[in-house]
């Protein structure tokens, strides 16, 4: 009896990262090295190989250096900031799962949210890439040894920095949500069932329209 070939493969590589592949082609890297203030996903490739993520801001190279692909952060946890690079850290502890499969593959990791040398939150994160290209993100957080209060903020939890060409101003992209609102001024700080950020990722052929792609986050 033959064993079905795993279309989605997950395996660890040198340099404290995990690579996830679909049908033998890279789709995403998960970086968890101690040289970064928090783990993140970069790049994230479409089925045609176009990257939809960026690391940092194309203009504000310092102020937005913490914007690395897809990341998890929060402005205030018990009064401690966990957003910018100069703030506190989310520290990788161990990988929990590297499961490859025919229809989906899953990467899971356990992290501490550290305020100085003291853990505030225990976090388990799980990414599941499906054969249809969808990415399921599951986050579970629990107080470590004390009560935890999350401050009111518009910055957190799951965040992403899209590629420059997808950006509304820099590349001609577009933000839409489940209520029909369009672009940042209308959407910023508002609740929605989903939010999509898409834009051009490659030039069209023979003068045709540009190739579009993007990310939709479902709540």
Tens of pLDDT, residue by residue over 29-39, are: 999 999 999 99
Contacts of 152 (CB under 8 A, 6+ apart): none
123 has pLDDT over 80: yes
Q: How does pLDDT run across 157-208, given as a tens digit for each residue?
A: 889 999 999 999 888 899 999 999 999 999 998 999 999 999 999 998 887 7
User: pLDDT: is 122 or 76 the higher one?
Assistant: 122
User: How much of the chain, in percent, has pLDDT values that exceed 70?
Assistant: 97
What would the two tokens of residue 151 be?
A: 């401050």
Contacts of 58 (CB under 8 A, 6+ apart): 164, 167, 170
64 has pLDDT over 80: no
pTM of the model: 0.92
CA terminus-to-terminus distance, the chain: 41
Edge-to-edge order in the sheet of strand 135-143: 89-99, 104-115, 118-130, 135-143
Instruction: Give pLDDT, residue 62.
Output: 64
Cα 94–Cα 96–Cα 97 angle in degrees, nearest 5? 135
Mean pLDDT of the 109-126 span: 96
Instruction: Give pLDDT, residue 207.
Output: 78
- Give the number of other CB atoms < 10 A from CB of residue 177: 20
pLDDT grade for 92, boundaries at 50, 70 and 90: very high
- Give the number of other CB atoms < 10 A from CB of residue 44: 22
Measure the CA–CA gap between 61 and 108, rounded to whole angstroms. Answer: 30
Instruction: Give pLDDT, residue 2.
Output: 81
Q: How does pLDDT run across 17-27, given as a tens digit for each residue?
A: 999 999 999 99
């Amino acid at each position: 009896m033959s064993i079905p070939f795993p279309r989605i493969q997950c395996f660890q590589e040198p340099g404290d990262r995990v690579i996830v592949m679909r049908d033998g082609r890279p789709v995403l890297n998960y970086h968890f090295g101690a040289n970064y203030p928090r783990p993140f996903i970069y790049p994230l490739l479409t089925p045609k190989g176009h990257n939809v993520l960026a690391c940092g801001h194309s203009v504000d190279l310092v102020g937005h250096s913490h914007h690395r692909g897809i990341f998890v952060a929060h402005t205030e946890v018990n009064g401690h900031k966990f957003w910018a690079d100069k703030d506190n850290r989310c520290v990788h502890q161990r990988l929990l799962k590297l499961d490859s499969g025919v229809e989906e593959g899953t990467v899971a990791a356990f992290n501490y949210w550290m305020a100085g040398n003291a853990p505030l939150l225990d976090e388990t994160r799980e990414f599941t890439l499906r054969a249809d290209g969808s990415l399921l993100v599951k986050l579970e957080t629990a107080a470590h040894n004390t009560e935890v209060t999350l401050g009111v903020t518009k910055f957190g939890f799951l965040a992403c920095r899209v590629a420059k060409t997808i950006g509304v101003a820099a590349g001609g992209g577009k933000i839409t949500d489940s209520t029909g609102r369009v672009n940042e001024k209308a959407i910023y700080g508002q609740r929605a069932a989903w939010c999509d950020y898409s834009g051009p990722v490659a030039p069209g052929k023979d003068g045709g329209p540009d190739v579009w792609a993007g990310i939709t986050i479902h709540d």
